[in-house]
Amino acid sequence: MDKIPEHRKNAFKAKSVFKAEELRRRREEQQIEIRRKNREESLAKRRNLNVPASPDSDDESAVAVINAQLQATTKFRKLLSKERNPPIEQVIECAAWALTNIASGSSQQTQVVIDAGAVPIFVELLSSPVADVKEQAVWALGNIAGDSPPCRDYVLHEGALRPLLSILNEHHKLSMLRNATWTLSNFCRGKNPPPDWNLTPALRSVGNIVTGDDVQTQVIINCGALPALLSLLSSPKDGLRKEACWTISNITAGNCAQIQAVIDANIIPPLINILQHADLKTRKEACWAISNATSGGLNKPEQIKYLVSQGCIKPLCDLLTCMDNKIIQVALDGLENILKVGELEKVNGVNQFSLFIEEAGGMEKIHNLQIHDNMEIYKKAYHIIDLYFAEDEEEEDRTLAPEVDMTSNQFVFQSDFNLPQTGFHFGSGNTM
């Protein structure tokens, strides 16, 4: 084929279309355009995924709720952002009112209020300075406690009882007293809570450990058992109080330092209260604890003085008439240890502790124990009377015995009435 002349090529239309550089440039532009279109289509597809869902959609409901909460929160923020007199208490009262109404619904609705953490807040509001807020909190707690025994126990566990009683003791308006009384009645409704079965075996385990030597007992003391035992002494459960007294009795059976640790933990006052007022089984364990605490005796007389100052003598004397021979012996041991320290601290030759025992009726009871069937009790009672109370009996005997005339070595009997100096005159009666 003949070659096209150059002058004819210059006459062609779009002669630069077929140049290599031009073709490469066009291909690049086409690729860029294709990528741009693909990107736009992809973005369009992604936007298509955000088409509003149907009115029944859960997502739409959630969004609506969130928007409503946001709007309400915004309004509250604006209200509370006022420079002068923001309605803080009114907002709290409004919220308390709403929660109170929810808590008055079904058990499930009440549980929602509890799960939201409202109960501790209501307990705090019982001490609010605003009467209306305080009354609303009383009402709400009454609704929650009245739902079920578990709810009642939870409210009590959060400490609602004490501030509620404070409200009842104060002089409030009639509606407040009515609501507080109604709430208190709900605190007392339902069955008693089940016993804490985990607490009893734990306490028994601790009690068994302190039956060992002083080293083992000290380990329990070092672990902080004494404050826990102090708390258990005020438990409403008789069994727990009894176990606590038993455990304490094993601790006071230790050395003087361990007895002092019990004293320092302020356990003695409630222990003596139990010794005086509890049921007999618990009193027996408390008797062991107090009697063991007197064992420091002559080594630590200040411990005995402290026990006496807390009023241990009277309840110990009261147990001398119980039917348990072992407890009588334990009480006698404690009283004897007290009397020993009293001998060291005599005032003008008088054992003050023996006077305290006599005033508590203890001397008479110990005297009566001298005719007890149990030989050990008889010997212990005889020993105490002979050693610490014999002077009183001797003094009484001396007042009854006649005086002796030292010159004639004869008894001189005194009479309470005067004899006539002229003697007696017996008149002769008329004979029949």
Residue 129, pLDDT score: 83
In contact, 167 and 147? CB cutoff 8 Å: no
Q: How many C-beta atoms surround the C-beta of residue 244 within 10 A?
A: 30
Is residue 213 within 8 A of residue 258, CB to CB? The reply is no
Cα 175 from Cα 146, distance rounded (Å): 19
Among left, alpha and beta (phi > 0; psi -120 to 50; other), residue 359 is alpha
Alpha-carbon distance of 65 to 71, in angstroms, equals: 10
Give the DSSP letter of residue 350. Answer: B
Q: Which residues of the chain have pLDDT under 50?
A: 12-13, 43-54, 396-401, 404, 411, 416-417, 419, 424, 426, 428-432
Other C-beta atoms lying within 10 Å of the C-beta of residue 149: 14
Q: What is the pLDDT of residue 4?
A: 55
What is the C-alpha separation between 260 and 210, in angstroms, rounded?
A: 16
Token pair 């030292």: residue: 406
Size of the chain, expressed as the number of residues it contains: 432
User: SS3 string of 13-64?
Assistant: CCCCCCCHHHHHHHHHHHHHHHHHHHHHHHHHHHHHCCCCCCCCCHHHHHHH
Tens digits of residue pLDDT in 285-314: 999 999 999 988 778 899 999 999 999 999
Q: Checking phi first, is residue 190 left (phi over 0); if not, alpha (psi -120 to 50) or beta? A: left
Q: What is the pLDDT of residues 173-195, one digit of tens each?
A: 888 888 889 888 888 887 776 65
Are 123 and 159 in contact, with CB atoms under 8 Å apart? yes
What pLDDT does residue 242 have? 92
The CA distance from 113 to 119, in Å, is: 8
Closest C-alpha to 278, from 232, 309, 225 = 232
pLDDT of residue 174: 86
Residue 59 identity: D
The model scores a pTM over 0.75: no
DSSP letter (8 states) at residue 11: T
The answer to whether 113 and 99 are in contact (CB under 8 A) is: yes
Nearest in space to 293 (alpha carbons), one of 252, 353, 243, 339: 252
